Homo-oligomer: A and B are copies of this chain.
Amino acid sequence: MTAYAVAHLRTTSAHEDVLTYIERVQDTMAPYGGRFLVHGTQVEVVEGEWPGALVMLAFPDMDSARAWYASPAYREILPLRTRHIAGDVVFAEGVPPGYDARATAAAMRAG
């Protein structure tokens, strides 16, 4: 099942380190099938607040996402971002094919 990485980057930066990170990140993702879904676009806040930026990546599955994040190539560039940008990053598994939200409600009712 497709897995997603979602980053709420609370600050942004055009520091040289960050530019280098952006230049190199795609090559670290490629061996794990990772691709950008959302990158650097202005978000439209419809509820609450969202200071900063949103980045979304997709991977073929959760193991690929984890393997990318733990890879030496990514570990090498990760501090170029985290030294300059504060944020929250999560991984989440995608819903299965044919997912029906009603089934989730039914499961919650069943407790």
Contact = CB atoms under 8 A, between A and B. Distances in A.
Contacts of A14: 108
Contacts of A43: 90-92
Contact of A38 (B40, B42, B46, B95): B95
Interface in A1-30: 2, 4-8, 14, 19-20, 22-23, 25-26
Interface of A: 2, 4-8, 14, 19-20, 22-23, 25-26, 36-50, 54, 56, 62, 66, 69, 82, 86-95, 99-102, 104-105, 108-109
How many copies of this protein are present in the complex? 2
Contact of A44 (B37, B49, B90, B109): B90
A24 to B, nearest CB: 9
